[in-house]
Structure formats: C-alpha cells, structure tokens
C-alpha cells in the first residue's frame, strides 16, 4: 500500500513506521520536524493545522491509506488547550477533508481512553456517554464522531482504536500515563523515580508492540467484518505500585516513591480503570499478547539501549 503518516516522529510512529516499511509498504512519514533516521520511509515536513499544506501533501503523495497520529496528549493539552484544539481538532478535520477530496481509501485514527469521563463502569464498554474532562479527550471524542460521519456520508473507510496508555522504549512526551514509562526510564537512568501518580492509580495500559499490531490488524481487516469505526482495545490495568514491583524485579535496587501531581492525577482518576474490548475481539480477532511482566522483560533491555544510544550522542 501507499501509506502516509502524520505525527510520525512521535511515540507510536517510532515503532509503526518501521513495521509498515518491513511489511513492504511505501511509506511517507510526516511530522513538524522530519527525522534524520528515516527507517526506510520518505520524510516530509507537515504541520497538520495548516489546511493548505495538508491538502498539498495528500495531493502530491496520493496515499491510499493515511495513519493519523499527530496529537497533543492529555497533560500537555491542559497546559496549551488552544494548541491542543488546533492540532487534534482542526488537524483531524484538515486530514479528513484532504482525504475526501483526493480519494484516499482508508483513514486510520488513533483515539484514546481519554474520551471517557468519570463515573463509568469497569471494565468500560465501547458505547457509553462520553464526557471527557480534558481538551485532548474532547477533541478525540469529536475525531471519533468525524470518522463516523466521513464513513457514512462520504464512504471514506475510517477505522480507529481507543488506545490505553502506551509504553515503549521512548522518552515520555506529555501524557498523563507517562508515570508508568518514567518508572522504567528513570528507574534505569537514575536508580529511582518519584511518581506523579498515586500508588493505587490504575488505568488501562498497553505495550507498544501490541499497539502497533492492533493498528496493522485493524487496517487490514475486511470492512464487512467491522461493525463500527472505532474500537476499545485492552491489555492490562495494573496499579502504579504493581508496575513499580514489576520494574524492580528486572532492575533490582530501584526506589519508586509517590508524590501525586494534582493536574495529572485528576486526569488519571477521570478515566476508567479497565476497558472491555469484546467488540474488537469479536469483529477482527484482536488479542493483546503482552502481560505487564512480559512487557517488563522485553522493555528493560530496550530502554537501556535507548539510554546508551542517547548518552553516545550527547556532546
Ligand atoms: C495520555 O496519557 O494522554 C495518553 C493517552 C492515554 O492517550 N497516553
């Protein structure tokens, strides 16, 4: 396939670009800043808030599938709501319009547990009233509705997943679930971490290889099998102190303490603690492969390698 990604320089793109190239697709990776290491993709600069630029790149590259990853995450979005609105809301609109105008076949949307608000059942099913508490959640809920609209009104085959907090060998970037990733990164580089989330915090999380596989499997699923546009997907929902124990098993001697940050803790407490992903399982055979401990065993060497590589690059 001819694939174009937005926000390809972010956490998901870091793993998805390589997976798409390895699967034999032609990949155009776009972001505000093109990456030096191309991973076999062509890189182009793209600001998704610029409608003319979005139109021009879609007209020029003529992708058949677009993976729309560009977004400002929950914690950053509360600090810069206007920017979150521009990137997440206007950016999604710009992409959908360009896809419609230039006849793109398929649009893959990355939604999130942040579309949910407080007071929902655990595990939380796909179809419940959505009352998100963050600009990120508001714009992603709206993006889901836009996907449904463009599918029903214009036949643009929009599909997406509601991602749990994703964990990978990357440096954290503005999400409220970053406490989980920091336990690995700071646990390894500093021997400990003061978590901005309480020890009993519990939200849905997922290891990135499962997240990337979910996008690839959903993108490839025959449309008649899909009963909706956007699906919950789930993996595991440990308490923060259970993550700490899992990291400590693989990195002995680390010290994790807890000093909740009101902004991010408030956001985390507004999300469901677990997701019901039955519809994704039934419709396209979704199954997460990694448990918390299996993730830890795979991730710790990768985080060490990332930190070594960055230390090597440091002046
Ligand atoms: C965030 O914390 O904002 C993201 C998410 C759950 O979508 N990781």
Helix H, strand E, coil C: the string for 161-193 is: EEECEEECCCCCCCCCCHHHHHHHHHHHHHCEE
Beta bridge partners of 29: 5, 43
| Ligand 1 pocket residue status of 74, Cβ below 6 Å | yes
| Ligand 1 pocket residue status of 175, Cβ below 6 Å | yes
The ligand 1 atom at the shortest distance from the C-alpha of residue 75 is 3
| Ligand 1 pocket residue status of 299, Cβ below 6 Å | no
Angstrom distance (rounded) from CA 215 to CA 217: 6
Q: What pLDDT sits at residue 212?
A: 98
The ligand 1 atom at the shortest distance from the C-alpha of residue 166 is 8
Q: Each residue of 91-126: b (16+ CB within 10 Å) or e?
A: bbbbbbbbbbeeebebbbbbbbbbbbbeebeebbeb
- 3-state SS of the chain: helix, strand, coil percent to 5? 50, 15, 35
Helix H, strand E, coil C: the string for 190-230 is: HCEEEECCCCCCECCEEEHHHHHHHHHHHHHCCHHHCCCCE
**How many A from CA of 96 to the centre of ligand 1?**
22
Instruction: Name the closest-CA residue to atom 1, ligand 1.
Output: 175
Q: What pLDDT sits at residue 31?
A: 96
Angstrom distance (rounded) from CA 52 to CA 57: 9
DSSP letter at 39 equals T
Residue 265: count other Cβ atoms within 10 Å of its Cβ. 17
Q: What is the bridge-based pairing of β-strands 192-195 and 165-167? A: unpaired
DSSP letters spanning 112-169: EGGG--SS--SSBPS-S----SSHHHHHHHHHHHHHHHHHHHH--EEEEEEE-EEE-S
Q: Exactly one of 136, 184, 193, 231 is catalytic; which is it?
A: 136
- Structure tokens given for 288: 């997460």
The ligand 1 atom at the shortest distance from the C-alpha of residue 271 is 6
**How many A from CA of 257 to the centre of ligand 1?**
22
| Ligand 1 pocket residue status of 176, Cβ below 6 Å | yes
**How many A from CA of 72 to the centre of ligand 1?**
9
- 24 CB-near residues (< 8 Å, 6+ apart): none
- Rounded to a whole number of angstroms, the CA Rg of the chain reads 19
Of 57, 47, 3, nearest in space to 28 by CA? 3
Q: What pLDDT sits at residue 311?
A: 87
Q: How far is CA 35 from CA 39, 43, 58, 162, in A?
A: 9, 7, 19, 26
Residue 146: count other Cβ atoms within 10 Å of its Cβ. 21
**In order of start, what are the domains of the chain with their CATH numbers?**
2-164+207-232 (3.40.50.720)
Q: Average pLDDT of each block of 10 consecutive residues along the chain (315 residues)?
A: 96 95 96 76 96 98 98 98 98 98 98 98 98 98 98 98 97 93 97 98 98 98 98 98 98 97 98 98 98 98 95 67
pTM confidence score: 0.96
| Ligand 1 pocket residue status of 135, Cβ below 6 Å | no
Q: What pLDDT sits at residue 138?
A: 98
Q: Is 184 a catalytic residue?
A: no
**How many A from CA of 178 to the centre of ligand 1?**
8
Residue found under tokens 């505000």: 32
Q: What pLDDT sits at residue 312?
A: 80
Is 25 in a helix, a strand, or coil?
Answer: coil
């Amino acid at each position: 396939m001819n694939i174009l990604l937005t926000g390809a320089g972010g956490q998901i793109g870091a793993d998805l670009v390589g997976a798409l190239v390895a699967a034999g697709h032609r990949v155009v990776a776009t972001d505000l800043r093109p990456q030096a290491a191309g991973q076999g993709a062509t890189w182009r600069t793209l600001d998704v808030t610029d409608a003319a630029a979005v139109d021009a790149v879609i007209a020029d590259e003529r992708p058949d599938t677009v993976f729309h990853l560009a977004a400002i995450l929950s914690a950053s979005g509360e600090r810069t709501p206007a920017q979150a609105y521009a990137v997440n809301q206007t950016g999604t609109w710009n992409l959908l319009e360009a896809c419609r105008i230039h006849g793109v076949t398929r649009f893959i949307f990355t939604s999130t547990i942040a579309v949910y608000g407080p007071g929902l059942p655990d595990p939380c099913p796909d179809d419940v009233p959505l009352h998100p508490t963050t600009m990120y959640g508001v714009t992603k809920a709206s993006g889901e509705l836009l996907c449904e609209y463009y599918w029903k009104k214009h036949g643009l085959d929009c599909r997406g997943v509601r991602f749990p907090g994703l964990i990978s060998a990357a440096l954290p970037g503005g999400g409220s679930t970053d406490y989980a990733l920091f336990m690995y990164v700071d646990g390894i580089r500093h021997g400990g971490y003061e978590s901005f989330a309480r020890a009993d915090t519990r939200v849905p999380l997922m290891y990135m290889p499962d997240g990337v596989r979910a996008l690839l499997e959903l993108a490839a699923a025959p449309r008649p099998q899909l009963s909706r546009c956007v699906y919950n997907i789930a993996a595991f929902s440990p308490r923060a102190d259970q993550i700490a124990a899992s990291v400590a098993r693989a990195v002995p001697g680390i010290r994790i303490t807890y000093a909740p940050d009101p902004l991010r803790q408030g956001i985390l407490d507004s999300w469901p603690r677990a997701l019901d992903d039955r519809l994704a399982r039934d419709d396209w055979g979704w199954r997460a492969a990694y448990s918390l401990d299996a993730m830890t065993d795979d991730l710790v060497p990768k985080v060490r390698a990332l930190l070594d590589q960055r230390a090597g690059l440091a002046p």
